[in-house]
Structure 1
Amino acid sequence: MTQDTVEIPDDELAATLATRGESAQARTRAEAAFRTLYDRHAKRLLAFLGGRVNAAALDDVHQDVWAKVWQAVPTRYHGGNFRAWVHQVARNVVIDHGRKRGFAPLTEGENVVDHRQADDATAVEAERRAALAKCLQKLERANAAVADLVRSRVAGESYDSYCTRTGMPSDKAYRAFHQAKAQLQACVEGISP
């Protein structure tokens, strides 16, 4: 016997967050709504942040984003695409994080090069790319499907699109990609000087 579950839309969950101060019962409902929103959006938000902050700061920035979401939903979220709104909050947190650390974040498409170190950076980047190519070949020999997943994700294909195209379950794709990413990073660090 299967039970049909109705997924509560993000807008309704966010509205529940906005009423959290009315009573203890409202606070409990708001916390449950927040957990649901977190469960729905945390993985993609982590992936988004992973490309914008260093690994050491990733968890702190991720927590800061969700703290801002908790605070801002009642007054700043006015409906619409919740995921897009959360990502806008995340962009602002990343900017604030960068300012606290003493640098301005890059805008999309902007490249900053310290010309005094450009030659060294170019050489190191070339070595890392060569090491990554070797590691990808090694991954290809070990597991062609996972190598295809990595190449697809790096090329910008979404998990949903990849899973639809290949028939791989999304939970398996997430797990496989993150394991492969860790293996590739360890491999590259082991090969490059």
Structure 2
Amino acid sequence: MKRKLCVAPSFNCDDDMEELNVAALSSRKESVAPLTAERDGTLFRHSLSYPLALVLRLRVLQIVCGISTLVMGSVAFIEERQKFNMGLGIPAGGFSILAAAVSIHTSRGWSLVTGGASVGAGAAGVLWIASGCLLIALIVQSCRTILDPSGLDNGDGEAIEDYRPSPRDLIVIACVQIVLAASTLFSAVVCARIDCTA
């Protein structure tokens, strides 16, 4: 009876591992290639001429600025001893949040994805008008606070010492309110321009 001898193939660990790595990398490249080759600027068979990603980023910025304006308005309301000067940030921030949230669902790019029409566009317009008026009033009031931080002149140039808030704190709050309100208004104008031109 003849016995067959099995000779084990030579096994070089470094070479085989390198071949495995090359094979794994090439299979990863092949799996990604069809995804990049098929991207032709469409989403669910709709053209992406509307910059939905940019508009959604701006809407998120508006919501964040609205929340921050609301918080800073609350701080100003407390700091100014319950006066509603820079406390305008409370309703201005609230309307900005609502307007941005409604605008997300009524934007043209979102309706392309969901297939729905912009039903609440009128409501979004009214909310943005109210928000814009309140934000402009907040900017004006904040500028007045920067020019006269005490805000408690009684006509003779003398302020009532017992109720005087810290002028430095009021100036900082006013500057933050101006930046937040201007950012919200600017992003709203950019979104409106995109909606009108795209």
TM-score range relative to shorter protein: under 0.3
Using structure 2 for the length normalisation, give the TM-score. Answer: 0.25
RCO higher in structure (CA 8 A, sep ≥6): 2
Using structure 1 for the length normalisation, give the TM-score. Answer: 0.25
Structure number with larger C-alpha Rg = 2
